[in-house]
């Protein structure tokens, strides 16, 4: 609740900070502009409203607050929120939520994808915001198995299993009819060829021109084609209906939803925030104008310093930062335990 003054270029004196904090908290709570008197109710500075007003004028001049119109209270700007979150003491998740999370991870079963999908729903329920869970690229995962299965004479399926448990399939179309035997042989060679390699490593493909070699070559090239776009991340979005609660303008809702539909965009948004070393991006801080009334919280999911994914939350700029941050972190933490524990220990 109190804020620590770490030395930075622009730092507010204690009273201004308290006032700003009060305005932010109050506005998050009520969605209404906050006046000098309500500030005094929540934060007991031994001061008169007039003084608070003077301070608020200053805060407005410095860009932390705005007035929707003359004779209204103040509303935080993005900068105001930013100051607020930067000076936030680490929040904690309530005991009930704590319990819910534990319970969830105790009960949850099934494949990674299912777990993440459900995790996303959990996070959304915990916070009542829309949640995003990204399963990061497995670029460094090694190939445990590569198998070519033929569907019919010319259509085959390359099924690749990675060390992180991912399974990927690729259609391989041949320009000739291959016999079962040829496909089986190609499958065997592929497996030998790719075993232990990653998508990044170079492999020596046979240059012969027989059917088997052709199949092998075609398969490898299809597999390689994976790389370019950030296509290999999986995204799970939970509670998109929360968008309708978080924003009032129908048009805003539409825009936000429409962005959530583009998974690639969501991934890059979230990873961009992480890359910039942030845990929250407020309003215009992420580059997407349609999201200018949104805040995005991210928490990396990393095992041994290796990022395996991201969990995120998307809400209005006036979202409940302490709780949401805490929830995201807690869930991220449990994910690490869940998967870290599963792969190494147990």
Which residues 6+ apart lie within 8 Å of 176 measured at CB?
A: 154, 211, 214
* Strand bridging mode 130-135 / 143-150: unpaired
Rule CB under 8 A: say whether 167 interacts with a second copy.
yes
Percent helix, strand and coil across the chain, each to the nearest 5: 45, 20, 35
Q: What residues does 148 pair with on adjacent strands?
A: 158
Between residues 53 and 188, which has the closer beta carbon with respect to DNA?
53
- Minimum Å distance from CB 207 to a second copy? 27
* Nearer to a second copy among residue 103 and residue 342 (C-beta): 342
Residue with tokens 């041949």, as numbered in its chain: 174
Residue corresponding to tokens 């220990």: 345
Q: Would you say 47 or 265 has its CB closer to DNA?
A: 47
Give the footprint of DNA on residues 63-122 (CB under 7 A): 67-74
Beta-carbon contacts of residue 115 (< 8 Å; ≥ 6 apart): 108, 109, 338
d(C-alpha 251, C-alpha 295), whole Å: 17
Q: Are 124 and 130 in contact (CB under 8 A)?
A: yes
Residues that contact DNA, how many (by CB under 7 A): 26
> Does residue 170 belong to the site contacting a second copy (CB under 8 A)?
yes
Among 13, 29, 241, 264, binds a second copy (CB under 8 A): 241
Using CB under 8 A as the binding rule, whether residue 125 contacts a second copy is answered as no
Please enumerate in sequence order all residues whose Cβ is within 8 A of that of 274, keeping only pairs 6 or more positions apart, or say none.
298, 300, 307, 310
The one of a second copy, DNA, none whose footprint includes residue 258, by CB under 5 to 8 A per kind, is: a second copy
Instruction: Provide, rounded to whole angstroms, the least separation between the CB of residue 40 and DNA.
Output: 10
127 binds, among DNA, a second copy, none (CB under 5 to 8 A by kind): none
**Could you say whether residue 283 binds a second copy (CB under 8 A)?**
no
Candidates 87-95, 150-158, 213-221, 330-338 — which segment interacts with a second copy by CB under 8 A? 150-158
Let me know: does 294 contact 314? Beta carbons within 8 Å. yes
What does residue 196 show for φ and ψ, rounded to 5 degrees? 85, -10
| Nearest alpha carbon to residue 329 among 307, 308, 301 | 301
Two tokens at 303?
């095992």
How far is 168 from 157, CA to CA, in rounded Å? 10
| Contacts (Cβ under 8 Å, ≥6 apart) of 83 | 12, 17, 20, 64
Partner touching 80 among DNA, a second copy, none, CB below 5 to 8 Å by kind: none
195 belongs to the binding site for a second copy (CB under 8 A): no
In the list 88, 92, 108, 161, the residue contacting a second copy (rule: CB under 8 A) is 161
Rule CB under 7 A: which of 11-70 touch DNA? 32-38, 46-51, 53-54, 56-57, 60, 67-70
For residue 165, give the DSSP letter: S
The residue within the footprint of a second copy, chosen from 92, 205, 257, 336 (CB under 8 A), is 257
DSSP 262: -
Q: Is residue 213 a contact residue for DNA (CB under 7 A)?
A: no
From candidates 245, 265, 279, 284, binder to a second copy by CB under 8 A: 245
Spatial distance between the Cα atoms of 22 and 105, rounded to a whole number of angstroms: 36
* 199 binds, options a second copy, DNA, none, Cβ within 5 to 8 A by partner type: none
* Partner in contact with 50, chosen from a second copy, DNA, none, beta carbon below 5 to 8 Å by kind: DNA
Interface with DNA, residue 227, by CB under 7 A: no
Interface contacts to DNA, rule CB under 7 A: 32-38, 46-51, 53-54, 56-57, 60, 67-74
Interface contacts to a second copy, rule CB under 8 A: 110-111, 121, 144-145, 147, 149-152, 154-155, 157, 159, 161, 163, 165, 167, 169-171, 238-241, 243-245, 248, 250-251, 253-255, 257-258, 260-261, 342-343, 346
């Amino acid at each position: 609740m109190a804020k620590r003054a770490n030395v930075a270029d622009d730092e507010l004196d204690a009273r201004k900070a308290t006032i700003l904090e009060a305005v932010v908290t109050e506005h998050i709570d009520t969605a209404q502009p906050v006046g000098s008197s309500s500030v005094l109710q929540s934060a007991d500075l031994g001061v008169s409203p007039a003084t608070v007003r003077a301070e608020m004028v200053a805060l407005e001049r410095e860009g932390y607050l705005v007035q929707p119109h003359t004779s209204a209270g103040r509303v935080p700007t993005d900068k105001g929120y930013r100051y607020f979150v930067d000076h936030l003491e680490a929040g904690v998740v309530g005991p009930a939520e704590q319990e819910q999370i534990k319970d969830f991870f105790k009960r949850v079963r099934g494949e990674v994808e299912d777990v993440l999908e459900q995790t996303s729903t959990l996070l959304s329920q915990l916070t009542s915001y829309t949640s995003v869970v990204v399963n990061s690229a497995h670029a460094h995962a090694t190939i445990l198995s590569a198998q070519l299965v033929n569907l019919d004479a010319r259509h085959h399926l390359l099924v690749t299993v990675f060390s992180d448990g991912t399974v990927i399939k690729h259609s391989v179309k041949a320009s000739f009819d291959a016999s079962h035997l040829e496909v089986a042989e190609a499958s065997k060679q592929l497996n030998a060829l790719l075993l232990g390699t990653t998508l990044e490593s170079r492999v020596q493909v046979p240059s012969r021109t027989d059917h088997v070699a052709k199949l092998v070559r075609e398969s490898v090239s299809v597999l390689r084609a994976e790389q370019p776009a950030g296509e290999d991340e999986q995204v799970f979005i939970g509670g998109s209906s929360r968008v309708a609660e978080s924003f009032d303008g129908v048009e805003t809702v539409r825009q936000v939803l429409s962005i959530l539909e583009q998974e690639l965009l969501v991934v890059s948004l979230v990873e961009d925030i992480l890359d910039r070393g942030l845990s929250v991006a407020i309003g215009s801080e992420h580059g997407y104008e349609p999201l200018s009334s949104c805040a995005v919280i991210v928490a990396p999911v990393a095992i041994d310093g290796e990022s395996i994914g991201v969990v995120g939350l998307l809400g209005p700029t006036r979202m409940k930062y302490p709780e949401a941050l805490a929830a995201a972190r807690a869930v991220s933490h449990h994910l690490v335990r869940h998967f870290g524990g599963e792969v190494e220990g147990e």
